[in-house]
């Protein structure tokens, strides 16, 4: 039989665990004005990349970051003419490799006519139908691409490559 103090301690422990899970996750949402026919450069130290298309002159960036080291992943973006640069960089390199606990998913929605240069050090890459040139590399995951009109170069160090 649990005493009132034991029940309170159990409840506080459960609450603490629940709050600690919420503190180790964050989402970034950005809308970037672009011109159709531009180019996206995306390089990240960690994360899955999902590229969807739409018929608007914007790049929508949504990044879901989870894990105990979620705050160590810094995501920045910059626009230079028709080019959009997005960088995901781990700040604490002492915990590089298997010792870090961070999971990220970059979901990018951009105009259907856009070139891509993508590089992730740990995650899959999925690309929707697109008109443009694609260069994509992952060090640890599969690459899936839809119907592409343009030159395509795909490289993975640890996964399959599928095209439509």
Mean pLDDT of 40-65: 97
- In order, the DSSP letters of 7-58 are HHHHHHHHHHHHHHHHHTEEEEEEEEE--TT-EEEEEESS-EEEEEEESSSE
Task: Over range 112-132, report the average pLDDT.
Answer: 96
Backbone angles phi and psi of 10, in degrees to 5:
-65, -45
Alpha-carbon distance 65 to 105, whole Å?
7
pLDDT the model gives residue 50: 98
Asked whether 30 and 87 are in contact (CB, 8 A), the reply is no
Smallest CA-to-CA distance from 35 within 122, 110, 109, 105 is with 110
Quick check: 153 pLDDT over 70? yes
Domain residue spans of the chain = 26-163
Res. 116 pLDDT band, cuts 50 70 90: very high
Confidence of residue 97 (pLDDT cuts 50, 70, 90): low
Which residues are registered as beta bridge partners of 28? 63
Q: Choose between 60 and 92: higher pLDDT.
A: 60
């Amino acid at each position: 039989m649990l005493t009132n103090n034991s029940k309170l301690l159990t409840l506080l422990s459960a609450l603490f665990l629940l709050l600690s899970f919420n503190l180790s996750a964050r989402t970034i949402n950005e809308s970037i004005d672009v011109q159709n026919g531009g180019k996206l450069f995306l390089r990240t130290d960690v994360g899955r990349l999902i590229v969807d298309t739409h018929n608007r002159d914007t790049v929508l960036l949504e990044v879901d970051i989870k894990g105990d080291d979620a705050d160590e992943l810094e995501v920045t973006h910059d626009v230079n003419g028709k080019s959009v640069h997005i960088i995901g960089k781990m700040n604490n390199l002492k915990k590089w490799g298997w010792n870090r606990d961070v999971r990220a998913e970059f979901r990018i929605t951009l105009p259907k006519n856009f070139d891509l240069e993508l590089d992730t050090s740990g995650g899959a890459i999925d690309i929707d139908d697109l008109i443009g040139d694609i260069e994509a590399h992952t060090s640890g995951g599969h690459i899936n691409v839809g119907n592409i009109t343009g030159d395509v170069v795909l490289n993975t160090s640890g996964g399959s490559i599928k095209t439509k």
